[in-house]
Structure 1
Amino acid sequence: MRLSIIFIFLLSLKLSAQNTAVNSGEKLVYTASYNMSGILNDLAQVTLETSTVKTSKATLLKLKCTAATYSKWDSFFKIRDLYETYVHPSTLTPFLHTRDINEGSYYKYMKYTFSHKTNTVKSLQKKKNNQVENKDVKINSGTKDIVSTIYSLRLIDFKNLSVGTSKNFTIIFDREEVKAKVTYLGKETINTAIGKKECFKLSVGSSKSNVLQGANNNLIWLTADQNKILVYGKFKIPVGNGELKIKSATGLKN
C-alpha cells in the first residue's frame, strides 16, 4: 500500500482563490492507519509543514509533506516519502513540485516545473536504476500537483456552499491529469486529539477506479473555522481501507 494513494483524495478548487488560511511556519502531524486482516493498525506518521523561501526574484511558500512508517513496521514495509511544492503565498499557485518515493523495494523521483502561461509542465522522472526520463506534459488551466491541491482545499468558502454542492477539478499525478470531485456534505462535530471540533464534512471521488472506491467511502473533515485544517479522513482503495487522524497542530495562521 503506497501512502501516495492516501493523498490523492485530498483535493483543490480554484487557482485564483486567495490564501486566508495557510500560514508560513505551520506544522500538522497525523497518524495514518491501515486495515490489516480486519484490524486497523497505526502504520505511519504524516507531517505537513510550511515555510518561507526567498529567491532573487520572489518570496515563495514551501509546502512540505513527509510520510514515514513507525519503526516497528520498517522491517515489514518501510516507507520514507517526501513531497515538496513551491507556491505563490497568496494564491498557492504551484511553480515547482518534487516527489521522492521510497516504499519497500519501490522507488520513484518526480519533478514538475510549471509554466502556467503555456499550460505545460516540464517533468523529470527517475527510478531505482537511476534512469532519467524528461517529458513535457500539456495541462489544463488550474491544474495543480498533489501537495498544492491538499492545501488549496482550505481556500474554499464552504460557508456559502449548499449541502450537496459538488465541484469538479483536475490534478496532475504521475504525468497524467486526474479528474476529481469534492462534495460538501454539511457540518459535523467530531472528537480529535486536538479537541472537539466543528467541521466541514466532504466526500471525495476520483475518475480513476484504481485509486478510490465507492461514492461515500472517502471522506474528510476540515475544521469549520478560518484555518480549515484537516483533522480526520477515511479512505477505501482496491487493497483495503484506512484513516488519517490529526495528532498535533502548531503555527496556525488564525
Structure 2
Amino acid sequence: MLRISFLLVCLFTLSLSAQNNAIGAGEKLTYTASYNMSGILTDLAQVTMQTSAVKTSKTTLLRLKCTATTYSKWDSFFKIRDLYESYVNPKTLTPYLYNRDINEGTYYKNMKYTFSHKTKTVKTIQKKRKYEEKKTVSIGSGTKDIISTLYSLRTFDMTNLSKGTSKVFTILFDREEVKGKVTYLGKETISTAIGNKACYKLSVGAVDSNTVNGTLWFTADENKIPVYGKFKIPVGNGELKIKSATGLRN
C-alpha cells in the first residue's frame, strides 16, 4: 500500500527562495484523496492543510499542519491517521522544527527534526513502537522538510515562466536528502469544487527514478493554492481534489 507520506513528497515539493506573500495564519484547505482500486477511482481519505500562528518566548512562528485520515468505511480495510507539521519563519518559510507522525494499519513511525541552519545540521529523533533513536545529520543550505517545502512552492512567482522550465529541489526525508525535479507545463483552466480556476500546471518526479510521476495544478492568483493533483506509481494511480478553501491571505 502506498504511504500517504511518499505521495505528498512526490506531488507537493519544490525548494525555492522567495518572500512569503501568499500564506498567512488561519488558512484551511481540505482535499479528497482517491486511489484506483480494481479499475475504479475510489475516494479513500481526507487530507487537510492548516496554518496557525505560534508564539514563542522570542518570536512568532507559522505552524504548517497537514493531516491525512481515511474515511470511516475504509478504516477496517486500511486505517490511516497521519500528521505532518512544520514550524517556520512566517516571511521566508525556513523550518525550525518538524514533526511526522505516521499511523497506517499496523505501521507506526514518528520522526522529529530540529534544524540548525547556521551549522547545516538537523537533530533527529526517530520513534517506532519499541525503540527510539537519536541522530544528527548534515544538510545542504537549501534543504527543507516535506511540509515547509510544499508551502514554499506557493511563494514563487510563476507568472513569467516559460513552458519547460525546470527546477531541482532537495528535501530531508527519513534522514536522507532526496532530490526531485519540477517542470512548468503552462497555464490551464480547470473545474473544481471551489469553482473554475485558471491554474499553473506542473509535473513533478524524482530525479533518479521514474517510479513516481505526478501533475499538479496551482491557482494562478496571489494565493497559489493546490487545487488538483494526479499521480502514477508502478502499482496504480490516484488523485487529490480540493473540497474547500477558507482563510486565504489574498
TM-score for the superposition, normalised by structure 1: 0.95
1:230 maps to a residue whose letter is P
- C-alpha deviation, 1:88, in angstroms: 0.1
1:136-174 deviation line (CA, Å, top 9, x unaligned): 111111100000111011011101211110011100101
1:38 aligns with: 39
Q: Does 1:223 align with 2:225?
A: no
1:173 aligned partner:
173
Asked if the contact 1:219/1:233 (under 8 Å) is kept, the reply is yes
Partner of 2:13: 11
Matching residue of 1:246: 242
Q: Distance in 2 between matches of 1:165 and 1:88?
A: 28
Amino acid at match of 1:142: G
Percent of matched pairs sharing the same residue: 72
Kindly report which structure 2 residues correspond to 1:14-163, keeping only aligned pairs within 5 A, or say none: 14=16, 16-129=17-130, 131-163=131-163
Q: Is the Cα contact below 8 Å between 1:45 and 1:70 reproduced in 2?
A: yes
1:2 aligned residue: 3
Contact 1:31 1:246 (8 Å CA) reproduced = yes
1:200-219 per-residue CA deviation (whole Å, 9 max, x = no partner) reads: 0000011353851xxxx410
Question: Following the alignment from structure 1 to structure 2, what is the Cα–Cα distance between the partners of residues 208 and 74?
Answer: 34
Letter in 1 for 2:15: L
Q: Residues of 2 paired with 1:196 and 1:250: CA distance?
A: 16
Q: Which residue of 2 aligns with 1:191?
A: 191
- What is the letter of the counterpart of residue 116 of structure 1? H
Q: Which amino acid aligns with 2:53?
A: T
* CA-based RMSD: 1.1
8 Å Cα contact 1:5-1:211 kept in structure 2: no
Structure 2: segments with no counterpart, 5+ residues: none
Q: Is the 8 A contact 1:125 1:134 kept in 2?
A: yes
Give the count of matched residue pairs: 248
1:79–1:102 contact (8 Å) kept in structure 2: yes
Contact 1:210–1:238 (8 Å) recurs in 2: no
Given that residues 15 and 143 in structure 2 are in contact (C-alpha distance below 8 angstroms), is that contact kept between their aligned partners in structure 1? no
